[in-house]
Amino acid sequence: MDEFSLLPDNASEAGLPWDGPPIVSRVETATDAGDVSAIVWGVGAPSVVLLHGGAQNAHTWDTVALAVQQPLVAIDLPGHGHSAWREDGRYGPETNAETLAPVIEQLATTPVVLVGMSLGGLTAMAIAGARPDLVSKLVVVDVTPGVDRDKAAPIAAFMSGPESFATFDALLERTVQFNPTRTESSLRRGLIHNTKQREDGHWVWRYDRFREGGGFDFPPLWDVVGGLRMPVTLVRGSLSTVVTDDDVARFRELCPQTDYRFVEGAGHSIQGDRPVELAAILREVVAS
């Protein structure tokens, strides 16, 4: 199926107007770590770049992109979506940043408004710290370097589940159990983009397993946060356990130019739970 054929459903569920298919395409960029795949939205050079979370892919931003209505790029992180898997299994923020910085330079007009959620947010911090020339504004969605295995326990439990499923419905059933803030129709669309069927009929994920450092070695990024000089927006979901009040306080103490936003009714994946509200925040950031 055409990977963009589900966009009318995204628009309908979010209450967005649908005037026909948007201008959107998939592009591939060669890197030392293999090809990085991305979705380019709109006409003209994009100045907004979106980075998804671990075990997700660029399509997690589809409804947000429809609502923002301006040129942007949504990138599949290495080891996710249609991007190449690394032989060493290293998908930490710093490693991702090294791979993605030249991709951003090639696909977007820099400096960009860099938006990252969860692992994508940590990766965005690492990019902003190492290459501040690439980032005009930084938006971090429901994550700080204070995330650990306890705070992310529901996410870790979901990701440590079976690697294959006999049927798509079995996969969907487990996903619904772990995502009480999402509609089943939204989760079904997400799984269509985030899984594939093997020749034996079983369904498997379209992402590699995170194997670097156990997946929760992020405290060094607090030093990066303290060195950021561009405007920063920290967005937190009201139902999420990943970011605490103490995390927010430390982030704002180290980075006093941070604008803090709280999205009611959203869990960790704010772009999935409250995409229209998140798009409104992004439009404000871009216009400010």
By annotation, the residues acting in catalysis are: 118, 142, 268
208, 89 in Cβ contact below 8 A?
A: yes
Cα distance between residue 104 and residue 108, in whole Å = 6
Interaxial angle between packed helices 184-194 and 7-14, expressed in degrees from 0 to 180 and rounded to the nearest 10:
150
CA 198 to chain centre: 26
Q: Cis (ω within 30 of 0) for the bond into 93?
A: no
Strand order in the sheet with 258-263: 24-29, 36-41, 72-75, 48-51, 112-117, 135-141, 232-237, 258-263
What value does the CA radius of gyration of the chain take, rounded to a whole number of Å? 18
> Nearest-CA neighbor of 230 among 266, 259, 270?
259
Q: What token pair was written down for 140?
A: 């971090």
Q: What token pair was written down for 147?
A: 């995330």
> Nearest-CA neighbor of 239 among 269, 216, 261?
269
> Nearest-CA neighbor of 56 among 73, 68, 74, 44?
74
- Residue 129's contacts (CB-CB under 8 Å, 6 or more residues apart) are 221, 224, 227, 228
